[in-house]
Amino acid sequence: MSALSLRGLNKAFGGNAVLNGVSLDAEAGEFIALVGPSGCGKSTLLRILAGLDHADSGEIFVGGKDMSAVAAADRNIAMVFQSYALYPHLTAGQNIAVPLAMKRLSRTQRLPLVGSALPGQKEIRAGISRDVREMATVLKIDHLLDRKPGQMSGGQRQRVALARAMVRHPSIFLMDEPLSNLDANLRVHARGEIVELHRRAGVPTLYVTHDQAEALSMADRVAVMIGGNLLQLAAPEAIYNDPAHIEVARFVGQPRINIISALAENGRVDFSGTRLALLEKVANGPVSLGIRPEFVKLSPSGRSGLAGRIERLEFLGSEVIAHCRLDASGDVVIAKLAPHEARDLIAGMPVGILLSPEQAMVFGPEGRRLRTASAAPTRQEPAYV
C-alpha cells in the first residue's frame, strides 16, 4: 500500500483541460518533485490533493483511505505556499501554533474569553507552546517567535511557514515552489535544509517547482508534467539520461537538448554516418533525434563531422557553451565544451560538428521515445507512467 496514490485525475477549467488522467504513487518517506513549465497543471494537482480544489474525476488515496469526499481541514495534509501565506496579524509563534490549536482545542476552548476559563485548556496550551518552541529550535527560528511576518526577512518567513506545516506531523507534505521567492544563494542553502528536514520527518513529500535543478537535486523521484500530462515519473538520473518523451528531454537539461530531424526507414535511422536500429516497428517517416550538448564535439579544422559555423560562444567558467548552425539544414546545435576544448574557437568560424550517434535518443513523430539497439538504458529500469 502506497502512502499516497492518485488515480486518473482529470480537471478542466471552462473546457480547458488542465489535468489529463494524472496517476501517481508515492511510497512512505519518499520525496517526489513535480516539475514542469508554468501552467502545466502542477499547482492545480497540488491544490486538488490538498482538498482546496476538486477534480472532475479520479481518486485520491492517502494511506489507503479515499480522500475525495474529505474536507481540506480533515485530510491532515500540510502545505507550504509560494507566498508563505503567514497570518500577518499573528507573531511567528502564534502562526506556528494555529494548526495545533485547531487540532487540540475544542471549539469552546478556542473562544477568546470563555475558552480561557474552561478546565483543561491550560495544559493543552502549555503543550502547544512547548511543541512550537521545539519545532522553532529545529528550524533555528526560536529567537523570532515574537516577531510578526512583516518584521521578518524572506528566508525567515519561509522557515516559519515550514515550521507551521511540520509542527502537526501531517501524513502528506506539499510544497508549492517554496524557494522561488528567495535569492539565489539562500535558495541553494534552503534546498539542502528541506531535504534534511524531510529525511528527519520521513513524511512523503510532493514538491512543486519549475526549477529543474531543484527537482533533480532534491527529489528521490521526479515527475515531469507538461500540458496537464504526467509524462514521466522516475529517478533524477533516469529523467535526464533516459527521457521517455521528447518534451521531457527538452524540459530537463541546461542548456537544452539538441533536436535534429531525421528519417526512419525500414526500422533504421541513418544519422551522421551511423545506423541506429530501432527495436520497435515504426512507419517510415520523419523522427527526431535528441543529443545532449555534452555529447557534441567541435573540430576546429572542419575536416570531420557535419559542416557548420559557430554563431556565439558563452563562457561560463567551468564550461563553454557554443551555439552552432548546421550548413545543410540550418538547425541550431548547442555544444557544451570544457574550456580547454574551446580555446581555439572564435565566434563566426566554420567548424566540423561531431555528434555522437551512440548517445542519440530517437523520438517518434508524436514525441514518444523509440528504443534503439545501440542506446540502451544507462541505469536502472525507469518507471513509466
Partner 1 sequence: MTSIPAGRLIRFALLSLGALMILAPYIFMISTAGKTQSDIFTSSLSLIPEHFNFAENFAKAFAKVPMATLLWNGVIVCGLIFFFQVLVAIPCAYAMAKLKFRAARLMMVLVMLGLLVPIHATALPLYVAFDRMSLLNSYTSLVAPFTISVFAIFMFLQFFRAMPDDLIHAARLDGMSELGIVARVIVPNAWPAVTAFAIFSVVAHWNDLYWPLIVVSKQAYATPPLGLMYFRAAEAGDDYGALMAATLIITLPLVVAFLFAQKRFVEGITMTGLKG
Binding site for partner 1 (CB under 8 A): 47, 50-52, 72-74, 77-79, 81-83, 85-89, 98-99, 102-103, 164
Q: Determine contact, residues 323/330, Cβ cutoff 8 Å.
A: no
Provide, rounded to whole angstroms, the least separation between the CB of residue 249 and partner 1.
33
What is the strand order of the sheet 369-370 is part of?
A: 274-277, 268-271, 258-265, 285-291, 361-363, 369-370
Q: Is 107 or 303 the residue whose CB approaches partner 1 more closely? A: 107
Provide, rounded to whole angstroms, the least separation between the CB of residue 119 and partner 1.
23
Q: Is 157 or 250 the residue whose CB approaches partner 1 more closely? A: 157
Report the Cα 121 to chain-centroid distance in Å. Answer: 42
Provide, rounded to whole angstroms, the least separation between the CB of residue 112 and partner 1.
9
Q: Is 125 or 369 the residue whose CB approaches partner 1 more closely? A: 125
Q: Determine contact, residues 367/290, Cβ cutoff 8 Å.
A: no
Provide, rounded to whole angstroms, the least separation between the CB of residue 260 and partner 1.
43
Provide, rounded to whole angstroms, the least separation between the CB of residue 265 and partner 1.
54
Provide, rounded to whole angstroms, the least separation between the CB of residue 81 and partner 1.
4
Q: Is 179 or 222 the residue whose CB approaches partner 1 more closely? A: 179
Report the Cα 316 to chain-centroid distance in Å. Answer: 24
Provide, rounded to whole angstroms, the least separation between the CB of residue 115 and partner 1.
13
Provide, rounded to whole angstroms, the least separation between the CB of residue 63 and partner 1.
17
Q: Is 31 or 173 the residue whose CB approaches partner 1 more closely? A: 173
Provide, rounded to whole angstroms, the least separation between the CB of residue 156 and partner 1.
17
Burial of 158 (0-12, 13-18, 19+ CB in 10 A): buried
Q: How far apart are CA 208 and CA 97, in angstroms?
A: 25
Q: Is 83 or 329 the residue whose CB approaches partner 1 more closely? A: 83
Take residue 380 and report the three cell numbers written for it: 536502472
Sign of the CA dihedral with 360 first, then 259, 42, and 254 last: positive
Take residue 162 and report the three cell numbers written for it: 515550514
Provide, rounded to whole angstroms, the least separation between the CB of residue 230 and partner 1.
23
